[in-house]
Amino acid sequence: MKKNLTISAACLINNHGEILLVRKRGTTMFMQPGGKPEPGESALQTIIREIREELGLSFTADELRFDGEWTGPAANEDDTSIRATLYSAAFHGELAPLAELEELLWIDPQAALEREDIAPLLRDHVLPLAIERSKK
């Protein structure tokens, strides 16, 4: 039986136009920061909390842009689909992985599309959106 997960994810872009990818401990796929809601949390509250837990960053609701929703296969869990609410924000500074994160990677969105170790949500939705916005 297929499992369904609800998550919130963030596309953080630095002043070089690179997107932040993260890899969680014990996994092989890179994705955006984010995660599952706690009971009673909205999608926006979830991403604000997850960014703080995973990266030590404090964003306000006004600093995050709603980028829509996406449904598709999960990256690191077999027979699982996700429904993701997406947000984006600019970030300029240094980061270190916290919580369950093992690795951070700042990368050009076009170069990220050439990798084989990126999550379906990233490949199918986030990167094309980031590339389109960079052309404006």
C-beta separation of 63 from 87 below 8 A? no
In this model, does residue 18 exceed pLDDT 90?
Answer: yes
Task: Give the pLDDT confidence of 46-84 residue by residue, as tens digits.
Answer: 999 999 999 999 999 999 999 999 888 777 777 888 899
Amino acid found at 80: T
* CATH label of the domain that carries residue 76: 3.90.79.10
**SS3 sequence of the chain:** CCEEEEEEEEEEECCCCCEEEEEECCCCCEECCEECCCCCCCHHHHHHHHHHHHHCCCCCHHHCEEEEEEEEECCCCCCEEEEEEEEEEECCCCCCCCCCEEEEEEECHHHHHCCCCECHHHHHHHHHHHHHHHCC
The whole domain housing 68 covers 3-134
Cα(127)–Cα(105) distance, integer angstroms: 14
Q: What is the mean pLDDT of the chain?
A: 90
Looking at the structure of the chain, the number of domains it has is 1
The pLDDT value given to residue 22: 94
What would the pLDDT profile of 91-111 be if each residue is shown by its tens digit? 988 888 888 889 999 999 999
Question: Are the C-beta atoms of 74 and 63 separated by less than 8 Å?
Answer: no
pLDDT at 124: 86
pTM of the model: 0.87
Predicted local distance difference test score (pLDDT) of residue 1: 60
The HSE-up count of residue 92 (CA atoms within 13 Å, CB side) is 3
